[in-house]
Structure 1
């Protein structure tokens, strides 16, 4: 299994136990929203590729990331179909929008902020897969195994986004990273009425 120590060292908090316990009783929602998250991750990467065509390294890293996210989307759909769950549109969580509302509107900071947010979202996804797996070892062993399988790619996506942010910034990004991490911790640790893969403490 991938070493996610860098992820735990990066994020300011771990997933609350209340969210993990809720996830075991809301598997349908977890899987549906997980699929939406993989699809959204691919779409976001493609959008950035179109927005910044002059950044060759970004194009190369995000094209690979896009292929992997689409494959993950297909794999989660298989889990959904096997369980007789109807895949459908659901209201997204507040999480991504809650981070993007603080992103700069002007370039080049808009690019840097978008990459930092991408790194944080990938890091949280990785942390959640790692935390969830033991909860499903007995009831959903195939799913638990799959979550552990995802750790390697998700942790690499986190580093790719962070590396790109550092590459394209003309100054240190540490302060901006900490700003977004603080906002992320607030979203994860505060009560959240809508249960989703990236939601906060179940209200």
Structure 2
């Protein structure tokens, strides 16, 4: 896992600010609620790609597996929340995913390439944050977040490979656009704590 995590650190434009880790430790119930939302949204994204791109066999297979894994993670987060008396509830969405999607082109194949790049970045950032949080959490949460690293790293790789396939080659130019946006979203202060937010003001 060390090699995969190093690859993710090399891929992302920056590390999670330490202030965000402090925020997460101060808002663990909120972190779990939003984490559950993130897993559900990840499954929904995978399913929507399966519905839209029915002729892409490799995408269908990878997204089907990814959706199952994300829903399993959703169930695992809910189980942890239930044991801790944390109620799953609605939350306003973070600016993170919406901020990345602002850069997505409207027509295919550019749209598919960009959506897959966004997926890769979100999965990579999730993996990086699980790893950053784990040493600071209680044993149950630390073990759970550590257990997620392998699948999140694979999801990042799957999305990136599919983006390259859809583009017919390297995606470095588009990737640079999204990574620049991602850096700002991660480093700039936020008014509400979320799993993918920047540090709180």
Separation in 1, partners of 2:2, 2:45 = 25
How many aligned positions are there? 200
Separation in 2, partners of 1:184, 1:193 = 17
Equivalent residue number for residue 110 of structure 2: 109
When normalised by structure 2's length, the TM-score is 0.98
Equivalent residue number for residue 184 of structure 1: 182
Provide Cα deviations, 1:26-58, integer angstroms capped at 9, x if missing partner: 000000000000000000000010000010000
Provide Cα deviations, 1:134-165, integer angstroms capped at 9, x if missing partner: 111xxx21100110000000000000000000
Matched, 1:6 2:7: yes
Q: Which runs of 5+ in 2 are unaligned?
A: none
Equivalent residue number for residue 158 of structure 1: 156
Provide Cα deviations, 1:78-129, integer angstroms capped at 9, x if missing partner: 0100000111011110000000011000111000000000000000000000
CA drift at 1:170: 2.8
Q: Which aligned segments of 4 or more residues in structure 1 are displaced greater than 3 angstroms? A: none
Equivalent residue number for residue 64 of structure 1: 65
Does the CA-based 8 Å contact 1:115-1:164 persist in structure 2? yes
What is the DSSP-based 3-state SS (H/G/I as helix, E as strand, rest coil) of the residue aligned with 1:192? coil
Two-structure CA RMSD over aligned residues (Å): 0.8
2:173 paired residue among 159, 172, 175: 175
CA drift at 1:171: 4.3
Trace 1:37-56 onto structure 2 (pairs within 5 A).
37-56=38-57
